[in-house]
Amino acid sequence: MVENDASEDSKKGMKVGGALGEMFRTAFQRPITKKYPFGAAQVAERFRGKLDIDPVKCTGCGVCEAVCPASVIQMVHTGTRKVGTREIETKRPTFDLYTCISCGQCVDDCRFEALRLTHEFELATVDKKSLVMDKALKVVN
Amino acid sequence: MDALEVVEILVFPGLTFFVWLAFVFEWLDRKTTARMQGRIGPMLAGPRGILQPVADFFKLTSKEEIVPQFSDKLVFEWGPPFFFAAPAIGTIFIPVVGLNAIVSSPYDLLFILFVLAFSTLMAGMLGYASAGRFSTISIGRLVLQYASFEIPLLLAIVSPAVAAGNLSISGIVQAQSNFHWFVFVVPIGFAVFIVSSLAELEKPPFDIPDAKTEIAAGWMTEFSARPLAYVKLTESLSYVFLSALAASLFLGGTAGPVLTNVTILQDGIYLAYFLIKVFAIGFAIFAIKTALARVRINQAANLFWTVLTPLSLLQLGIVILLR
Amino acid sequence: MSDKGNNSPISGEEGSAKREVSAGLMQYSPENLMPFGPVHPALHEPEYFKLILEGEVIVDAIPRIGFVHRGIERAAQDRTWIKNIYLFERICGICSFAHSLSYVQAIEGILQFEVPKRARYIRVIVAELERIHSHMLWLGLVGYWTGFDTLFMWIWKDREHVLDLIEAITGNRVHKSYNTISGVRKDLPENISEPIKREMAYIQDRIRYYRDLVSREETLVVRTRGIGKIDAETARKLCPVGPLLRSTGIARDVRTEDPYAAYDEIVPEVKTSSQGDVASLLTLRADEVLESCRLILLALEKMPSGPTKLTAPRSVPKGENAFHVEAPRGELFYYIRSPGGITPERVKIRTPTMANVLTATSMLKGYTLADVPVVLTGMDPCFGCMDRISVFEVDKEKQWSVRGEDLRQYGISHYKTKKL
């Protein structure tokens, strides 16, 4: 036999339908539901959405590739460049946003401020490949 | 039986009318419940989503039907129409236009009680036929719940009949003209009827046989497609049926002031009286079911046996003494 | 049957009485077995509980874990220290900040970093916001489990306010990605103190209302009071953590016993409840939300200015460290061992649900099937956090570990024999 609750709460009177008053109050308030697909969605100032790159600022250093936890960023070879007497490889980043978790670590670590997170979040697609971002190609080459 | 009577039974104010009313009722239920919870509710199909229950029904009928391997196929597949028939037949005894129902006999209420019992019996048969674990547990609960709420429901139905001295629903409605509503004569009976109908409808706090967080959808768990569409429609129809019964037995149903001498206009006014009362009862049930949590089966049985049965007996005694 | 001083017509004389059950583990027939999960409306994650029933009374309950095992501890060994922050956040959606907090503080211990004071205060604010949203999630779900959908909708409606606040501070509602080794990644946004104060006042107001409602609404009270009862003695034996332990009256909280972040300066008051049933869990969690609101406002007031992070090195010197934090669900424990490089050698995680699951399952015995959702989930389960890949069969008393390749072979042979 379980003892009955003797705490402070059980001494207060119980009632059936204690929520009725609040229910009618709520019924005449504005519903909380946001009609999202039919209206704009509000996101916070700091919201981390789709990743975007400024190809002009990007130097192809590859730090973002090293820090990306989701292996979104792959550096691809674009050619060679002469620095003094040495020939060094030039690279550009490509982004597979399908696996991107929008953590923003690459943005934090980019010294050239080439990366940023936009407020865009509607990334649903039927084609995985359409999420591969290879912006740097057009400008660099 | 002439052609007009057939139309009356099948179209208006009979089966088709009540089925559409059931759809509207379901929409109102979803919409008001949503608003009370701070949501919007259905909003896409039709203006303010009024066609959502219709859309759901037709969508379900077009889905693939899955019959469990060990189910009793005959009952599983052919049971739902019979389940649907119970409240559908019950509705023709309720006056909707005018003070007389389409079919009226001196023994209406006995048949209504049979309809209510048959509805539960069919639910039990459907659950057993589907042979699922959740269904089996649910049927145990359903039968226990029926055993507990049947007596109070029966006594609550009988009290207005005693007050009117008549077992016919049309007779009871006619006895309530001039605002001589039985809700003032048998208030306890009315309250008991509303609580018992929550149990009959399997709505909170008595949605024990289909408590989704405990036993999935209860006896409906194995149903899909067309049978499920019928079962869902029957639930809405029972909702309307019991609200209409409560409105007729306790709030005077179609009875009200006579405003014109033109028969057809006056019939429309009777219909308006009826609908206002039915929706009033409906809203009361929506509010109650939204405000409460589900009780356990032993607590429900306890409530019906120790509180509602004595109350309804008391009400019956009072009404017999008053007559 | 004694008069319990409870004149409720609903609960009646054996409303919340626990039945004595006698049958042992081995004596059940398949007809008495009720599967609770892996897919069940009451559980939002896949987990399987074998319930042995006698009518509606539960004779025995056996958990079977492992449905959502993700091998995160192993995966962590292939990733760098920084990458692992984001990996561990994904162990749990609700307490993601607690996971990353525990992990980065363990690393900061090895590195012997002095984290900037402002960062420690910000960590307290976000951790407490997370506690509020986790507790409100559970409070709402109790409404759902007991069929009181209105309570569920209302509390989740108000929980949105907290989530919006978290989004404003960290940039995301669930996976906050806010911690980094040596601090937090960004300072608090400007002008955030005003919204925080406003929302905290709102939350406090609402939680007081809900606390009153859940302790007075009769249909809810008869479903929760005296249900899933556990006394302090049993609790000491079974070692649950968090609110489940505190509901039995044992005041244990990592935040006060072993203060981390800024909890040495913002001292929380440990709330307890004496009854150990679901009703006391409800009021206890509501109390903790109120306490968290107080802590946030206090932290906001006492917040010093300064930097929020230092520059962390890529590699961590050889060493090992263990750290525990008070996640919303209870004590969360991290052990890390560094070989002296850029990846960890071993990470061991003990989540609160792992500590609580056996307690919760043993609490089921003697109650009815209708009580399963509330009792089982009284610990606020997070099965995704908990799952391990140690396979055992209680009936045969066999136990073995499975490697990934074995599992694959087992899957292939299983589907071949089933001809699917």
Note whether C336 and C418 are same-domain residues: no
Q: How far is B303 from chain A (nearest CA, A)?
A: 13
pLDDT recorded at residue C390:
56
Residue C63 inside a domain? The answer is: no
pLDDT recorded at residue C289:
92
Which pLDDT band holds residue C401 (cuts at 50, 70, 90)? low
Note whether C303 and C257 are same-domain residues: yes
pLDDT recorded at residue C393:
60
Query: Once rounded to an integer, what is the mean pLDDT over residues C310-332?
Result: 87
Residue C117 inside a domain? The answer is: yes
Residue C22: pLDDT over 60: no
For chain A, which domains are there?
A: 51-140 (3.30.70.3270)
DSSP for B96-107, please give it. -SSSS-SS--TT
pLDDT recorded at residue C9:
45
C20 to chain A: which residues are within 8 Å by CB?
none
Range of the domain at C404: 389-420
Q: Which two tokens stand for residue A91?
A: 């690279």
Which pLDDT band holds residue C201 (cuts at 50, 70, 90)? very high
Residue C379 inside a domain? The answer is: no
- Is B293's CB within 8 Å of C147's CB? yes
Which pLDDT band holds residue C12 (cuts at 50, 70, 90)? very low
Residue C23 inside a domain? The answer is: no
- Is B35's CB within 8 Å of A26's CB? yes
If you search the block for the tokens 């009936």, which residue do you land on?
A: C395
A98 three-class SS: coil
Of A18, A19, A32, the CB nearest to B38: A32
Residue C97 inside a domain? The answer is: yes
C-beta separation of B172 from B247 below 8 A: no
Q: Among B36, B292, B307, which would you mutate to test the A interface (most chain A Cβ atoms within 10 Å of its Cβ)?
A: B36
- Summarised one tens digit per residue, pLDDT across range A5-41 is 444 555 567 777 778 888 888 888 888 888 888 888 8
Q: Where is C201: in which H helix or E strand?
A: helix C193-216
Residue B194 inside a domain? The answer is: yes
Query: Once rounded to an integer, what is the mean pLDDT over residues C267-286?
Result: 86
Residue B272 inside a domain? The answer is: yes
Residue C31 inside a domain? The answer is: no
The number of C-beta contacts closer than 8 angstroms across B and C is 101
pLDDT above 70 as % of chain B: 100
- Summarised one tens digit per residue, pLDDT across range C24-78 is 444 566 667 878 878 887 777 888 888 888 777 888 888 877 777 777 888 888 8
Note whether C135 and C253 are same-domain residues: yes
C-beta separation of C385 from C353 below 8 A: yes
Residue C5: pLDDT over 50: no
What CATH code is carried by the domain that includes residue C79?
1.10.645.10
Q: Which two tokens stand for residue B150?
A: 């049947």
pLDDT recorded at residue C27:
57
Chain A residue with Cα closest to C14: A1
Note whether C77 and C133 are same-domain residues: yes
pLDDT recorded at residue C202:
92
Query: Once rounded to an integer, what is the mean pLDDT over residues C240-265?
Result: 87
Residue B6 inside a domain? The answer is: no
Contacts of C270 (CB under 8 A, 6+ apart): C246, C251, C252, C253, C255, C256
C-beta separation of B223 from B231 below 8 A: yes
- Summarised one tens digit per residue, pLDDT across range B93-137 is 888 887 777 778 888 888 888 888 888 888 888 888 888 778 888
Residue B158: pLDDT over 60: yes
The span from the CA of B63 to the CA of B51, in Å, is: 19
**Which ranges in chain B belong to alpha helices (H)?**
3-10, 15-36, 52-61, 73-91, 108-130, 133-164, 169-174, 182-185, 187-200, 212-215, 225-250, 263-291, 297-303, 309-322
Which pLDDT band holds residue C132 (cuts at 50, 70, 90)? very high
Neighbours of C314 (CB within 10 A): 12
Range of the domain at B260: 67-322
Note whether C296 and C400 are same-domain residues: no
B290 to chain A: which residues are within 8 Å by CB?
19, 23
Q: What is the mean pLDDT of chain C?
A: 82
Residue C76 inside a domain? The answer is: yes
Pick the more confident residue, A137 or B283.
B283
- Summarised one tens digit per residue, pLDDT across range B290-319 is 888 888 888 888 888 888 899 888 988 888
Whether chain C has a CB inside 8 Å of the CB on B306: the answer is yes
Residue C358: pLDDT over 50: yes
At residue B193's C-alpha, the angle toward residues B192 and B198, to 5°, is 100
Residue C7: pLDDT over 50: no
DSSP for A107-126, please give it. HHH-TT--EEE-S------S
B132 to chain C: which residues are within 8 Å by CB?
none
Note whether C96 and C230 are same-domain residues: yes
Residue C13: pLDDT over 50: no
Q: How far is B209 from chain C (nearest CA, A)?
A: 11
Note whether C327 and C419 are same-domain residues: no
Task: Give the CA count within 13 Å in the CB-facing half-sphere of C318.
Answer: 1
Note whether C326 and C206 are same-domain residues: yes
Q: Which two tokens stand for residue A103?
A: 């953590």
Of A18, A27, A33, the CB nearest to B36: A27
Which pLDDT band holds residue A3 (cuts at 50, 70, 90)? very low
Q: Which two tokens stand for residue B115?
A: 């309809």
Task: Give the CA count within 13 Å in the CB-facing half-sphere of C229.
Answer: 18
Residue A87: pLDDT over 70: yes
Q: Which residues of A touch B (CB under 8 A)?
A: 16-20, 23-24, 26-27, 29, 31-33, 35
Query: Once rounded to an integer, what is the mean pLDDT over residues C235-258?
Result: 86
Domain count, chain B: 1
* Domain final position from C355, C379, C404: C355
Residue C418: pLDDT over 70: no
Note whether C221 and C80 are same-domain residues: yes
The span from the CA of C265 to the CA of C302, in Å, is: 9
Which pLDDT band holds residue C402 (cuts at 50, 70, 90)? low
Note whether C124 and C187 are same-domain residues: yes
A16 to chain B: which residues are within 8 Å by CB?
292
Residue B240: pLDDT over 70: yes
- Is B291's CB within 8 Å of A17's CB? yes
- Summarised one tens digit per residue, pLDDT across range B2-50 is 777 777 777 777 788 888 989 998 999 999 999 888 888 888 888 888 8
Domain count, chain C: 2
The span from the CA of C160 to the CA of C30, in Å, is: 44
- Summarised one tens digit per residue, pLDDT across range A54-68 is 888 888 888 888 888
